Amino acid sequence: MLKSVTIAIRLSLVLMLICGVIYPLVTTGVAQAVFHDKANGSLVESGGKVIGSELLGQKFDSPQWFHSRPSAGDYDATASTGSNRAVASSEYAKEMKEKIASLYKENPGLQSVPADLVTASGSGLDPDLSPEGAKAQIPRVSKETGISEQQLNRLIDDHTTGRQLGVFGEPRVNVLGLNQALLSEMK
Amino acid sequence: MGMGLLQVGIIVIIFLLLVKPMGIYLVKVFGNEESRLGKVFGPVERVIYRIMGVREQETMGWKKYAGAVLLVNFVMLILMYIVFRIQKYLPLNPDGLDNVPPGLAFNTAVSFITNTNWQAYSGENTLSYLSQMIAITFPMFTSAATGFAIAVAFIRGLIGRQDNLGNFYVDLTRTITRVLLPLSFVVAIVLVAQGVPQTLLGAVHATTLDGAGQTITRGLVASFESIKHLGTNGGGWFGTNAAHPFENPTPLSNVVHMVCMMLLPTALVYAFGLWVKDKRQGWALFTAMGLIFLVMLATVLYSEYRGVPAVQALGVQGNMEGKEVRLGASESALFTTVTTAATTGSVNNMHESLTPLGGFVPLAQMMLNNVFGGKGVGLLNGLLYLILSVFICGLMVGRTPEFLGKKIEGREVKLAAVAILIHPLIILAPTALALALPGSTASIANPGMHGLSEVLYAFASGAANNGSAFAGLGANTVFYNVAIGLVMLAGRYISIIMMLAIAGSLAVKRVVPVTSGTLRTNTPLFTGILIMIIVVIGALTFFPALVLGPIAEHMAAL
């Protein structure tokens, strides 16, 4: 019995060292050497200052920006969260109605409701919009920035990423990238 | 919808293509014959055994094997608990996080040693990097390898002639050195290439375009993600798991995650056929599991694309609540099906916000607990139902039932019955208790039928050692931490002990020759019977609870 206990302890410590220390550190070494920027969080810098991560959504409040999706965690990257709403409940339907109404108010001339603009993402940090979700905001952004709708349309098309390898996922627009481009158009 | 179906189809085909080569490799890993693998890994493993004090040639009967499993798991559990409790004083804590409180530390240690990965905490604001490494990443390897070892031991009992199930220490080590470590490393690098962080640096503060601040937490995420899915563990580095863009940055990383989850559980079923020298037996079981999987997948795909009628009437197509744009409805639906079939429990969309029928699928799969299932234990649960089916068929034709030439008698059926019945007991009883106590109902986020589903889902997830959640439930309370902790322990170890006991009992039985009167268990007819028995037993046990939860909710929303 005592022998089994000793083996159990020695085995646990050895495996803890291999799987919990050596493996993650070796992986870190290789990852840092080969994919340095990605391994550190795909940070985006502007003028020497970090303005965010390409992969994490951020909050855009002012009307001149393209807005990100609703976020249950208000784009706080230290506490990611979904809304965890029960979608079949009557409160949810009521809330959706209000969201849709304010979406129409904010973006006059809207033809249909892009689902991603009225639903909270899973992580609360979704960096993307569907192309429809971005284009729905064109009239507002155009009015605020003075950039023509046609030009904004082209900007969105340029920043649309297609399905990966032609099949996987959904077409999407990175909101931070789009707004950065918008910023340089404004200058 | 067309593109959605196409990508789901392609991914399912990738699952299928990998079954055979991986299955063949697994048989080689655990075979005793001197192979090329032995030459490659042998020298390193011998050094490891020497440090551990393990004698490679030693063999164990079922009691000794079970004893070793429990003892090793217990020691690891204690080590993990200690690490959580003192993380503040240990190195690699760049974000300066405090020690984990006792209830939560107990729940988390149990959760990861049992391969459940239920998370009552959010990693990014609770665990230091060191804790994530030596108390989370580490048991992700060992809990998966433990499940694997037990499955291998069980098969040795089935085909053996004496009570010799192999050597647990060797099975555990080999699974890690020959399967999990090499695969995890390669997959981790692929994930970094897609954008998953892998760094020792702490959080970075950013000033956003709009002038606000954003603190970006990161860490050794890629090395964590790869073993999380290969080992069907499922816990997230971040609170929102694989929905978080750092865990799952692209559609391709999503595909890699799903392939990793399905790889070993499916291959093990095929390896089982090879082992018992009856490939058709392996495929018979595979087909039964595969058909249930497809029905479940179709259900969740259909209902997520459709959304709920009341919202659809407002002009919103499909259900995007709790889903990410880059993944969309189809890859979210597939992920949901895969993660609860392979009992991984990671999520790339919020299960709480699935449509009622969509949420029914993960719940039902965890209740059945044998649609491929977690590392090793999924195959074992499948075999449990198979033994039961053989027994019932034997009763119908009036012969002593046999499986692979071994007579299935009173002792085996009793043990199997205990293992099967413990599962509903530890789901339904604590659910009832939680609903009866006023304190625990306060944790429910959504009222009514959905609230019942939240609690039911939590205990089903614990019992099936899955770990996914209807995340609205405020589960970080003393009641839920302790109750779910105990359910996870019972769900894991009672069935493991029963299975090893069955293996020990079968191992010493004489092999009876196959005659024309033998019930053949590798035919399509038997596959059909097996599916029926799984569905009937599952439905009889859980139907009342499901009717009160997701089914009622679905009906009410029509």
CA distances from B415 to B409, B462, B494, B536 (A): 10, 22, 10, 20
Please choose, from the candidates B45, B322, B426, the residue with its C-alpha nearest in 3D space to the C-alpha of residue A69.
B322
Phi, psi (rounded to 5 degrees) for A51 = -110, 0
pTM (2 d.p.):
0.95
Report residue B399's pLDDT band, with 50, 70 and 90 as the boundaries. confident
Percent of chain B at pLDDT above 70? Answer: 99
Strands A49-53 and A128-129: unpaired
Contact in structure between B454 and B472 (CB atoms under 8 Å): yes
Domain assignment present for B106 = yes
How confident is residue B33, by pLDDT bands cut at 50, 70 and 90?
low
Q: Is residue B170 within 8 Å of B56, Cβ to Cβ?
A: yes
Q: Tell me whether residue B101 is in a domain.
A: yes
pLDDT tens-digit profile of B320-337?
A: 999 999 999 999 999 999
Residues of chain B positioned with their CB less than 8 A from the CB of A86: 352-353, 446, 450, 472, 553
Share of chain A above pLDDT 70, in %: 100
Kindly indicate the confidence band of residue B163, based on its pLDDT and cuts at 50, 70 and 90: confident
Q: Which of B208, B245, B556 sits opposite A55 (nearest CB)?
A: B245
Query: What is the count of structural domains for chain B?
Result: 1
| Short-list B248, B252, B250, B226, CA closest to B238 | B248
Instruction: Give the pLDDT confidence score for residue B502 in this predicted structure.
Output: 94
For residue A18, which amino acid is it? I
- Taking the CA of residue B396 and the nearest CA in chain A, the distance in Å comes to 45
Q: Classify each residue of B302-336 as buried b or exposed e, where b means 16 or more C-beta atoms within 10 Å of its C-beta.
A: ebbbbbbebbeeeebebbbbbbbbbbbbbbbbbbb
CA distance A18 to chain B (A): 8
Q: Spell B364-403 as b/e; 16+ CB within 10 A means b.
A: bbbbbbbbbbbbbbbbbbbbbbbbbbbbebbeeeeeebbb
Phi/psi-derived region of residue B167, left when phi > 0, alpha when psi is between -120 and 50, beta in every other case? beta
Please report which residue ranges of B307-370 form alpha helices under DSSP H. 309-312, 328-341, 356-368
Q: Share the mean pLDDT of chain B.
A: 93
A55 → closest Cβ in B206, B249, B328 = B249
Per-residue pLDDT tens over the stretch A82-108: 999 999 999 999 999 999 999 999 888
Question: Do the chains contact at A41 and B198, CB–CB below 8 Å?
Answer: no
**DSSP-assigned beta bridge partners for residue A129:** A173
Check B193 against A35: CB less than 8 A apart.
yes
- Cβ distance A84 to B356 less than 8 Å, yes or no, reads no
The answer to whether the CB of B197 falls within 8 A of the CB of A40 is: yes
Q: Tell me whether residues B320 and A97 touch, CB distance under 8 A.
A: no
Residue B32 confidence class, pLDDT cut points 50, 70, 90: low
Residue from B149, B154, B62, B66 nearest B406 by CA: B154
Q: Do A19 and B142 touch (CB under 8 A)?
A: yes
A50 backbone dihedrals φ, ψ, rounded to 5°: -70, 125
Q: HEC profile for B157-223? A: HHHCCCCCCCCHHHHHHHHHHHHHHHHHHHHHHHHHHHCCCECCCCCEEEECCCCCEEEECCCEHHH
Q: Alpha-carbon distance B18 to B20, whole Å?
A: 6
Which chain B residues contact residue A122 at CB under 8 A? 240, 243, 322-324, 332, 347-350
pLDDT-based confidence at residue B34 (cuts at 50, 70, 90): low
Do A164 and B315 count as a contact with CB atoms less than 8 A apart? no
Q: How far is CA B343 from CA A4, B114, B144, B265, B375, in A?
A: 31, 12, 11, 10, 8
Structure tokens at B508: 């010493």
Taking CB atoms and an 8 Å limit, are A41 and B200 in contact across chains?
no
Half-sphere exposure of B402 (CA within 13 A, CB side): 18
Position A14 confidence tier, pLDDT thresholds 50, 70, 90: very high
Answer yes or no: do A84 and B322 touch at CB < 8 A.
Answer: yes
How confident is the model over B233-288, as pLDDT tens digits? Answer: 999 999 999 999 999 999 999 999 999 999 999 999 999 999 999 999 999 999 99
Contacts of B208 in chain A (CB under 8 A): 51-52, 58-60
Euclidean distance between CA atoms B336 and B85, whole angstroms: 33
Q: Is B552 exposed, middle or buried, given 0-12, 13-18 or 19+ CB atoms closer than 10 A?
A: middle
A59–B212 C-beta distance less than 8 A: yes
Strand partners, A174: A128
Give the tokens for residue A124: 């609360």
Put simply, the answer to whether B239 touches A81 (Cβ < 8 Å) is: yes
Inside any domain, residue B360: no
Count Cβ–Cβ pairs < 8 Å, chain A vs chain B: 361
Q: Which domain holds residue B165?
A: 24-249
> How distant is the Cα of B544 from the closest Cα of chain A, in angstroms?
20
- Give domain status of residue B46, yes or no: yes
Distance separating alpha carbons of residues B369 and B343, to the nearest angstrom: 7
pLDDT tens figures, B335-387: 999 999 988 899 999 999 999 999 999 999 999 988 887 777 888 888 999 99
Q: How confident is the model at residue B396 (pLDDT cuts 50, 70, 90)?
A: confident
Residue of A nearest to B357 (CA): A88
Judged on CB neighbours under 10 Å (0-12, 13-18, 19+), B432 is middle
Give contacts of B135 with chain A, Cβ < 8 Å.
20
Distance, C-alpha B132 to centroid of its chain: 19
Cβ neighbours around B528 below 10 Å, total: 14
Which of B210, B243, B557 is facing A62, going by the closest CB pair? B210
Which residue among A61, A116, A133 places its CB closest to the CB of B210?
A: A61
Q: Cβ separation of B311 and A62 shorter than 8 Å?
A: no
Nearest CA of chain A to the CA of B351: how many Å? 8
The minimum CA-CA distance between A187 and chain B, rounded to whole Å, is: 14
Report the SS3 class of residue A126.
coil
CA dist A146 and A126 (Å) reads 28
| Cβ <8 Å between A167 and B7 | yes
Name which of B183, B216, B348 to mutate to probe chain A: the one with the most chain A Cβ atoms within 10 A of its Cβ: B216
Instruction: Scan for tokens 């977690």, then name that residue.
Output: B374
Dist. CA B168–CA B30, nearest whole Å:
11
d(CA B404, CA B520): 9
Question: For position B401, what pLDDT does the model report?
Answer: 87
Rounded CA separation B442/B437 (Å): 9
The verdict on a CB contact (< 8 Å) between B203 and A20 is no
Distance in Å from the first CA to the final CA of chain A: 76
What is the average per-residue pLDDT within B53-61?
Answer: 92
* Domain positions in chain A: 1-40, 42-186
Residue B62 domain flag: yes
Q: What is the pLDDT of residues B417-459, one digit of tens each?
A: 999 999 999 999 999 999 999 888 889 988 889 999 999 999 9
pLDDT in tens, B494-535: 999 999 999 999 999 988 888 877 888 899 999 999 999 999
Q: Which amino acid type is present at position A169?
A: G
Residue A184 burial by Cβ neighbours in a 10 Å radius (0-12, 13-18, 19+) = exposed
Nearest to B338 by CA among B304, B301, B303: B301
3-state helix, strand, coil in chain B (%, to 5): 70, 5, 30
Q: Find where tokens 């604001």 sit.
A: B125
